[in-house]
Amino acid sequence: MTEQLRLMAVHAHPDDESSKGAATMAKYVSEGVDVLVATCTGGERGSILNPKLQGDTYIEEHIHEVRSREMDEARQILGVKQAWLGFVDSGLPEGDPLPPLPEGCFALVDVDEAAGALVKLIREFRPHVITTYDENGGYPHPDHIQTHKISMVAFEAAGDPDRYPGAGAPWTPLKLYYNQGFNRARTVALHEALLSRGLESPYGEWLERWKSFDRPERSITTHVPCAEYFEIRDKALLAHATQIDPDGAWFHVPMDIQKEVWPTEDYELARSLVDTSLPEDDLFAGVREAG
């Protein structure tokens, strides 16, 4: 591969790019890879999760604009490009029974129709590799699940000239990955490392909840070494001030322990049009060798 490598990360909301694969992106940017974050929604229905900002009426009334500015700051920290697909946040329905999703939201848009916006962006940017969410969305937020659905359609359709003929010249991405950063093995390793050092772990409840999940363990195929970029990841995450409490559980694990115990970000290879050997340590394995 003689041309510049290109990576596209497809995410549901502003802040997802900083909590899922951010150190990987920063690593590849440092190596000269062109990286683009595709953000499906504006996060308009996101709650203010940082207790220090709750009750701020300006933020509550201008959440869309505030989250857009946060995204721009995080983008600059990571050194990536970023594009909005323009869909409206669906919100996270809560209650029993769950309330209906709001009219016009991303999760209610026809999948083939919504995928057209991503196909257009793929054909414009021409990524060799795409990252997105698995069929569970990472967690069952309707926008995360919809992001998975449109990513799968767009990956297959972008190179087909008969599909979405008005969306630009066809381009065939070579690999598609699911983000699997919150896998059980990593969580157990960090939990046990903290306890062995006499420190409090934020993962005890996570691991208890994991026992109730009726789903198989994911196949982690790819571990990207990127520990030297964890500080950049955290700085980008903190840029999303409405969503992240700087004193919250995200930051309870000392950085030296993170780097020692689990120095990678992890992925599941879902599609590949190039030969590669598993396990991998590079999202571009097989792509770099392609002619």
pLDDT digits (tens, 9 = 90+) for 82-113: 999 999 999 998 888 889 999 999 999 999 99
Lookup result for tokens 């409090």: 200
Q: Is 110 annotated as a binding residue?
A: no
Q: What pLDDT is recorded for position 248?
A: 84
**CATH number for the domain formed by residue range(s) 6-183+220-272:** 3.40.50.10320
Would you say residue 2 has pLDDT above 80? Answer: no
State which amino acid sits at residue 230: F
Q: How wide is the angle at C-alpha 82 spanned by C-alphas 12 and 248, nearest 5°?
A: 55
Q: What pLDDT is recorded for position 97?
A: 85
Cβ atoms 18, 240 nearer than 8 A: yes
Give tens-digit pLDDT for 107-166.
Answer: 999 999 999 999 999 999 999 999 999 999 888 899 999 999 999 999 999 999 999 999
Mean pLDDT of 189-208: 93
DSSP-assigned states of every residue in 14-54: TTHHHHSSHHHHHHHHHTT-EEEEEEEE--TT-----TTTT
DSSP-assigned states of every residue in 163-180: SSTTS-S-----EEEEE-
Comparing 51-55, 137-141, 173-177, 258-262, which segment has the lowest mean pLDDT?
A: 137-141
In angstroms, the Cα distances linking 241 to 14, 52, 53, 286 are 11, 9, 8, 38
Give the domain ranges of the chain. 6-183+220-272, 184-217
Cβ atoms 123, 170 nearer than 8 A: yes
Comparing 4-13, 35-44, 87-96, 108-117, which segment has the lowest mean pLDDT?
A: 87-96
In angstroms, the Cα distances linking 267 to 106, 130, 175 are 25, 11, 12
Residues paired with residue 177 on neighbouring β-strands, in sequence order:
131, 269
Would you say residue 236 has pLDDT above 80? Answer: yes
Cβ atoms 9, 36 nearer than 8 A: yes
DSSP-assigned states of every residue in 56-81: -HHHHHTHHHHHHHHHHHHHHHHT-E
Q: Is 148 annotated as a binding residue?
A: no
Would you say residue 195 has pLDDT above 90? Answer: yes
Determine the distance from the C-alpha atom of residue 63 to the mean position of all C-alpha atoms in its chain, rounded to a whole number: 21
Would you say residue 290 has pLDDT above 70? Answer: yes
Give tens-digit pLDDT for 212-234.
Answer: 776 678 899 999 999 999 999 99
pTM value is 0.96
Diameter of the chain measured on Cα atoms: 60
Give tens-digit pLDDT for 242-272.
Answer: 999 998 888 999 999 999 999 999 999 999 9
Q: Which band of pLDDT confidence, cut at 50, 70 and 90, is reported for residue 291?
A: low
Q: Is 62 annotated as a binding residue?
A: no
Task: Share the mean pLDDT of the chain.
Answer: 95
Per DSSP, the three-state class of 124 is helix
Determine the Cα–Cα distance for residues 195 and 3; give it in Å rounded to an integer.
47
Q: Percent of the chain, pLDDT > 90?
A: 84
